[in-house]
Amino acid sequence: MSSVRNFIASNKDRFLEELMDLLRIPSVSADPAFKQDVHRAADFVKSQLEKSGVDKAEICSTEGYPIVYAEKIIDEDAPTVLIYGHYDVQPADPYELWDSPPFEPVIKNTNIHPEGAIFARGSADDKGQFYMHIKALETLTSLNQLSCNVKFMIEGEEEVGSENLDRFVRANKDKLKADVVLISDTSMISLEHPSVTVGLRGLTYLQVEVTGPNRDLHSGTYGGAVANPINILCKMIASLQDADNRITIPGFYDKVEAYDQSYRDELNKAPFDESDYRKKLDIKSTWGEKGYTTIERVGIRPTLDVNGIWGGYIGEGAKTVLPSKAFAKISMRLVPQQDHKEIARLFEQHFISLAPESVKVKVTPHHGGEPAVVPTDSPGYFAAEAAIEEVFGKSAIPTREGGSIPITSLFQQELNLDPILMGFGLDTDAIHSPNEHYGVKNYLMGIETIALFFNQFKQQFTKANG
Amino acid sequence: MSSVRNFIASNKDRFLEELMDLLRIPSVSADPAFKQDVHRAADFVKSQLEKSGVDKAEICSTEGYPIVYAEKIIDEDAPTVLIYGHYDVQPADPYELWDSPPFEPVIKNTNIHPEGAIFARGSADDKGQFYMHIKALETLTSLNQLSCNVKFMIEGEEEVGSENLDRFVRANKDKLKADVVLISDTSMISLEHPSVTVGLRGLTYLQVEVTGPNRDLHSGTYGGAVANPINILCKMIASLQDADNRITIPGFYDKVEAYDQSYRDELNKAPFDESDYRKKLDIKSTWGEKGYTTIERVGIRPTLDVNGIWGGYIGEGAKTVLPSKAFAKISMRLVPQQDHKEIARLFEQHFISLAPESVKVKVTPHHGGEPAVVPTDSPGYFAAEAAIEEVFGKSAIPTREGGSIPITSLFQQELNLDPILMGFGLDTDAIHSPNEHYGVKNYLMGIETIALFFNQFKQQFTKANG
């Protein structure tokens, strides 16, 4: 057993305990009620970085939640890996659907994780994943085996749009100077089929509000004569996708790349069992844009989902109200070349045009992010391949993932760095859902892989740059 | 001034105070949290009936909320008026849209009510209206002028479907024996244009639930490949009405009467200012079934309204969830000959047929009621006409109202009595909405009109029956 693997095995319980302490802090960035907790999580991360061997760690204030920055510079001439992660988490509601409280982590065995998984909000997204990097650093510094410089940038607003990170990166280009960005905030196919994400979708997220009459009305007295904003909103939303599930917003597909069949064939070679997928979700059939496979639908095609809808009486029993207002949160996943701000504009223009004059419509953009594609011929990618091969005994499969990490394109544009998206989660981890969890084995193998990446990167970088 | 009007004027303050005491009891039948309050309202009504001169008053238990029964029998041979009303109220939420707390009644002047209106949940629907009957009885017994027998049946489940009233009426036909049912739970056009309701729409109210995947999913990882129950629900709801706003449920219109043009012309003669209507609701245009006027749309045509919709993340900020479930409450107003149970069946059948196999659909009928038409040539109708003429100095206009009082058809079928729907509310009273109110003048003129009705009914009944 290598010294790295040995060190991780010897410290396994403590590595898990520390992560569970972090998971106990309900750092929900979307809800102001958790403000103190979000700050507490930042302090905890800083203090854990300090204990793990960095030269310095600091809390960088922003107009929102702080960014935790830390660095370990072993040699000015050695290549530098910049780690990105986020210590904030998604809201945990609906709480009643959790089998154990979301902020009281417990380890339970499951079919997919016979060696246990940590159940808690943020366990996979992203606390359990970025914390691996801190433990990988500790492992290498303890063993005196670190061969590259490492910088950490862990933010607290990823789940709400990373607006202040954007400003921070633009203002601190020197401080963040590095040769690669390494991010673990994605999933792999499985422990048997390790993969590296090489494409991510972008995101445009908006809220819409439809107003009918100026007050709630009695649906008996007014029903049939006054536009009901819920009925109208449903009609408007329904018309956003046609019978083939193509999005009807004019111009929406203008920049979407039509991949040739050989590329699509390659993509569809990734191990994927559709009947197992359906079974796990308890659905009779998948659903999406006509003419594409499930892998293509989440990988190379844009989408439109209503993430929330509300209006009228939603309590127990019956209330015969014709409400004044109806609301929806709508997001679109974007593919390379689609510009999230342009799509927001196209959406707004089209959505407003759908409304009959009997109602008023307001569209409020929430946040967005650009899609990303990662080249597979960089020193960083080679390092990831080599590290995965060594730990998993198998070649990494390059995959395109449906989710978005909006800041990846920020790194490309502002720092001129291609991010390496080496995540260790699984699609079944239930991120953003009740009972989120993260495999113990994924956590430990992740730490090992990241430690090996640090050293592999030095080699690959030197090879490429002579 | 007549002795009746004089008595009411002298007791005005007390009559208002008593009503406000009743309005302070939050008797929301739809929400179990208010259970004790609903019972308290029943007790209050019983005790007020006792103080107002009835021979006996009783709380009749049911499987749900009790029915308050009372009677004043002056002469076994005199005709009998049965009063129906309800002491339960609609839920008051959204509370934040009330200018004053819904269960702390206050009298404020408004443009429409320069002599004041009582603002409170239930002020118009129906506490303020049924309480007029108790005060009308008190007026006549105090003046020793009552010339007919009066029975009261005041229930506590009107807002949730009157299920137990149904059983109560079937089981107590002797006790409830009467010559007319008088109900004040509707509105009139205005104090300047007094009217009597001669048609009411029926109601079918259902809740629908659409289930996609078995848990909330991340919309990035799964979006585009798994049916989103909100998107699907919107499509299903949208398809329930066509471009002409006709309802698309097969068989829905089969029993709907197509009135001839002369009937429609007559209906459209009722005073109605569409531009004023739009202005009061702050809408640019009305909206409804093609080919019909606003008066026809609420009077003689059936409708379909979504009364509530919810699903996914509805909190602050953004959550990129592809939810497991989406829900809606949907109701249809029905016109004569449409059977509410048949319509519920047709809806359920059709709605389920709309669902793609990627989702599961559940339809739960809530409650319903049959439409009603009231003849205008009965002693009861003549008595209402005469009483209104005397108090308002104007002829009553017969109108068809969009709302439903499901129990009217119960009285027709089980007691063989045509109800007289003599309400004194206004359409602007905001029933079922925040800031519900009831005009002080409407209340006082209503008491006077009802008192005169009692005596007019004796005359008209005697005339008709020799």
Domains and CATH numbers, chain B: 3-200+371-465 (3.40.630.10), 202-256+302-369 (3.30.70.360)
A30 with B432: Cβ contact below 8 A: no
Q: If you count residue pairs, one on A and one on B, with CB atoms under 8 Å apart, how many are there?
A: 369
Residue among A225, A324, A358 nearest B299 (CA): A225
Closest-CA residue in chain A for B217?
Answer: A433
Contacts of B225 in chain A (CB under 8 A): 286-288, 294, 297-298, 402
pLDDT at A432: 86
B58/B49 Cα distance (integer angstroms): 10
For chain A, the residue count is 466
Q: Which residue of A lies nearest to B125 if distances are taken between CA atoms?
A: A218
The pLDDT profile of chain B, 466 residues, written as one tens digit per residue, is 589 999 999 999 999 999 999 999 999 999 999 999 999 999 999 999 999 999 999 999 999 999 999 999 999 999 999 999 999 999 998 898 899 999 999 999 998 899 999 999 999 999 999 999 999 999 999 999 999 999 999 999 999 888 899 999 999 999 999 999 999 999 998 899 899 999 888 899 999 999 999 999 988 889 999 999 999 999 999 999 999 999 999 999 999 988 889 989 988 988 899 999 999 999 999 999 999 999 999 888 999 999 999 999 998 777 889 999 999 999 999 998 899 999 999 999 999 999 999 999 999 998 788 888 888 999 999 999 999 999 999 999 888 777 777 788 789 889 999 899 999 999 889 888 899 999 999 999 999 999 999 999 999 999 998 7
Q: Which residues does chain A have within 8 Å of residue B29's beta carbon, measured at their own beta carbons?
A: 317
Is the CB of A30 less than 8 angstroms away from the CB of B327?
Answer: no
Q: What is the mean pLDDT of chain A?
A: 94
Of the candidates A297, A306, A314, the beta carbon closest to that of B230 is on A306
Q: Do B434 and A284 touch (CB under 8 A)?
A: no
Say what the alpha-carbon torsion angle A401, A405, A409, A415 is, to the nearest 10 degrees: -120
Token pair for B305: 């309204």
CB contact under 8 A, A310 and B314: yes
> Chain B residues with CB inside 8 Å of A436's CB?
none
Give me the DSSP letters along A193-256. S-EEEEEE-EEEEEEEEEE-SSS-EEHHHHTTTS--HHHHHHHHHHTTB-TT--B-STTTTTT-
At position A376, the amino acid (one-letter code) is: T
Stretch (H or E) spanning A136? helix A127-142
Backbone angles phi, psi at A390, to 5 degrees: -70, -45
Contacts B312 to A, Cβ<8 Å = 306-309, 329
CA distance linking residue B70 with residue B56, whole number of Å:
6
Amino acid at A184: S
Going from the C-alpha of B390 to that of each of A88, A424, B339, B450, the distances in angstroms are 72, 84, 38, 11
**Interface-testing mutation among B319, B360, B361, B364, with chain A (most A C-beta atoms within 10 A):** B319
B279 phi and psi, to 5 degrees? Answer: -65, -45
Nearest by CB: A314 against B282, B310, B402: B310
> For chain B, what percentages of helix, strand and coil (3-state, to nearest 5) are there?
35, 25, 40
CB contact under 8 A, A307 and B326: no
| pLDDT tens per residue across span A277-306 | 999 999 999 999 999 999 999 888 999 999
Q: Say if residues B457 and B146 touch (Cβ distance below 8 Å).
A: no
In whole angstroms, give the CA distance from residue B307 to residue B402.
Answer: 15
For residue A189, give the chain B residue with the closest CA: B221
Instruction: Give the position of tokens 């049912």.
Output: B181
- Inter-chain CB proximity A30 and B218 less than 8 Å: no
Chain B residues closer than 8 Å to A221 by CB:
187, 298, 401-403, 427, 431
Interface test with B, best of A215, A273, A304, A332 (most B CBs within 10 A): A215
Residues A384 and A392: beta-carbon distance below 8 Å: no
Among A31, A283, A403, whose Cβ lies nearest the Cβ of B220?
A403
Task: Tell me the ipTM for this assembly.
Answer: 0.75
Please answer whether residues B346 and B249 qualify as being in contact, where contact means their C-beta atoms are separated by less than 8 angstroms: yes
Q: What DSSP string describes B60-110? A: E--SSS-EEEEEE-S-TTS-EEEEEEE--B-----GGG-SS-TTS-EEE--
Decide if A93 and B161 are in contact by the 8 Å CB cutoff.
no
- The answer to whether the Cβ–Cβ distance between A283 and B212 falls below 8 Å is yes
